[in-house]
Amino acid sequence: MVGSAIWRILSAKGYTNLIGVSSKDLDLRNQQAVRDFISKEKPEVIIDAAAKVGGILANNNFPYQFLMENMQIQNNLIDTAVQSGVEKFIFLGSSCIYPKLAPQPLKEEYLLTNSLEPTNEWYAIAKITGVKACQAIRNQFDKDYVSLMPTNLYGTHDNFDLNSSHVLPAMMRKFHEAKENNNAAVTLWGSGTPMREFLFVDDMAASVVFALENKLPEYLYNVGTGEDLTIKQLAETIQKITGHQGAIIWDKTKPDGTPRKLMDVAKMHALGWKHKVQLQEGIQKTYTWFLENIENYKEVKL
């Protein structure tokens, strides 16, 4: 989802010397394969949008894969970039790197000040090591390696597999299928009270291009809208856009996750980047794409 959005915006801006490869053709967990690829292609810049991702269910069921595979992917790319003389590297992480009960909104300096949210700590720990690796390279070798931490992303080319997707696309699929099934009731995890922030993927891509075209003065930047809403409000918004008219049942025996994760995006705003797509518009664009690709759900096998 993120990689394709970055590719689209780069192409639209006139960039032509783009190098990209799918996970089917290059296994980033394979160190030698990564070294061979970068040695052959000789990129000037590397944008690391690759990761093993998923929601609470996937993180709970596959902690080792979420820890190890994410570290393999990023370590192979980062270390090979340094060894190959790549001067600019943009590393993409997640807001889950911050402590579970950190003050809101989340500031970059809160990193490593307290314990993580248990439901996704494996993924978070992996991403934290990537952030610190880029910081170390920046400090030791004076290379322009920067980490962008997006809030919850959604948009076209999202993953709608109910076993591994994040909350927004999972809700969208559930409400759509329930509507098709005579407006059957939709059961959602938790209480609906946690607060979440969502960023349309095209805005995330724009932030990456901003980092590409400018030398950012610090090693870590939050990327988000600076606005959030409850999961219940999100569900009601998606329900309205999909046209579902049935009941919503909240299963409070399931975990809520972190109570709130709002990003402080003041640093990016001060540099000149700001999101453009509002949530309702973004959800509508995503649902339109979902309907156009309904026969080709992106299934993820874990």
**Active site residue ranges:** 123
Residue 153, marked binder: yes
Yes or no: say if 226 and 105 are a contact pair by the CB < 8 Å rule: yes
Residue 127 annotated as binding site: yes
Residue 39 assigned to a binding site: no
The response to whether 150 counts as a known ligand-binding position is yes
**Is 285 annotated as belonging to a binding site?**
no
Q: Nearest Cα to 120, choosing from 168, 58, 201, 29?
A: 58
Question: Residue 256, annotated ligand binder?
Answer: yes
196 labelled ligand-binding: yes
257 labeled part of a ligand binding site: no
Report whether 189 belongs to an annotated binding site: yes
Q: Residue 288 annotated as binding?
A: no
User: Is 151 one of the annotated binding-site residues?
Assistant: yes
Q: Which residues are annotated as a binding site for substrate?
A: 174, 189, 196, 256
**Which residue ranges make up the annotated binding site?**
92-95, 127, 150-153, 166, 174, 189, 196, 256
Binding site members for NADP(+):
92-95, 127, 150-153, 166
